[in-house]
């Protein structure tokens, strides 16, 4: 990444001393004045076809240089996105404001213990094996995310969205799921022991958890349009 940044800096600073050739220059004799000699040179082309040429920088077309620069910028943006995912730590996440965007990022096996993730957007992100124990995730968006084997112990998931998420084998003990939406989530093998599930939406589920708090049970969901789905409700 440092080499790419250096390339762009050298490109811009080097351009200050580069030879720029414009496709049309009325000062044909380069004396910094538009005089009769320049006019005669222009008139010598009177009646001929005009075809615009590219601006060149050290004999290279400007279009080619811009294409190279755009490619470098796109590559740097990809590197920045990857570095952001790698550099996320508990300390940095605790300091984040609400509503941060982590959609589609690979955060597998990251540690977010006691992090403030309120209203964060984890749509389609990969949190497999991550540790969100004690995390505050009020109104967070985990829709279609991968939470396979994720540790959510004691996390506050009030009003959080898990629609279509993969929560298989997730550790959800003592989690507050009040008013959370788990519609269509995969919960097979997950552990919901001693979790708070009141007013949570838990329909059309794929599979059943290995543990549920009393008096909840996982039963077939006959109202779901998808066959073989389950729902969790108090008995």
Report all structural domains of the chain as residue ranges with CATH numbers, in order of start. Answer: 2-83 (no CATH), 89-235 (2.160.20.80)
pLDDT of 136 over the 70 cut: yes
What does the pLDDT read at residue 40?
74
Angle at the Cα of 216 from the Cα atoms of 213 and 219, rounded to 5 degrees = 130
Share of the chain above pLDDT 90, in %: 53
* Greatest CA separation for the chain: 99
User: What number is the average pLDDT over the span 78-105?
Assistant: 63
pLDDT of 195 over the 90 cut: yes
Mean pLDDT of the chain: 82
Token pair 């059943």 is at which residue?
208
Measured CA to CA, the distance from residue 111 to residue 133 in angstroms comes to 9
What does the pLDDT read at residue 94?
46
Nearest alpha-carbon partner for 151 in 125, 179, 170: 170
Q: E strands along the chain, which residues?
A: 20-21, 56-57, 60-61, 216-220, 230-234
Rg (CA), the chain: 30
Question: Would you state the structure tokens that stand for residue 147, as one six-digit string?
Answer: 């939470």
Burial class (CB in 10 A: 0-12, 13-18, 19+), 28: middle
pLDDT of 166 over the 50 cut: yes
pLDDT tens readout for residues 41-74? 777 766 777 666 677 766 777 777 778 888 888 8
Enumerate residues 6+ apart whose C-beta is below 8 A from 56: 20, 21, 62
pLDDT of 235 over the 80 cut: yes
pLDDT of 140 over the 60 cut: yes
Nearest alpha-carbon partner for 165 in 139, 149, 147, 191: 147
Question: Would you state the structure tokens that stand for residue 131, as one six-digit string?
Answer: 């540790």
């Amino acid at each position: 990444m440092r080499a790419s940044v250096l390339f762009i800096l050298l490109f811009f600073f080097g351009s200050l001393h580069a030879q720029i050739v414009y496709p049309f220059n009325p000062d044909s004799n380069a004396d910094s004045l538009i005089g009769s000699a320049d006019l005669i040179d222009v008139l010598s082309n009177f009646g001929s076809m005009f075809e615009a040429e590219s601006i060149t920088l050290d004999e290279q077309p400007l279009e080619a240089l811009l294409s190279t620069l755009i490619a470098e910028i796109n590559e740097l943006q990809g590197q920045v996105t990857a570095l952001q995912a790698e550099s996320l730590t508990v300390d940095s996440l605790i300091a984040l404001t609400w509503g941060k965007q982590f959609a589609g990022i690979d955060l597998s096996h990251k540690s977010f213990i006691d992090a403030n993730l309120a209203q964060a957007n984890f749509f389609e992100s990969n949190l497999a094996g991550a540790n969100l124990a004690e995390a505050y995730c009020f109104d967070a968006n985990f829709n279609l995310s991968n939470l396979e084997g994720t540790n959510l112990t004691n996390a506050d998931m009030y009003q959080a969205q898990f629609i279509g998420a993969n929560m298989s084998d997730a550790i959800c003990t003592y989690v507050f799921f009040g008013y959370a939406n788990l519609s269509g989530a995969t919960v097979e093998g997950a552990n919901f022991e001693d979790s708070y599930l009141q007013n949570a939406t838990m329909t059309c589920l794929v599979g059943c958890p290995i543990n549920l708090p009393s008096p909840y049970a996982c039963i077939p969901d006959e109202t779901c349009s998808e066959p073989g789905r389950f729902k969790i409700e108090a008995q």
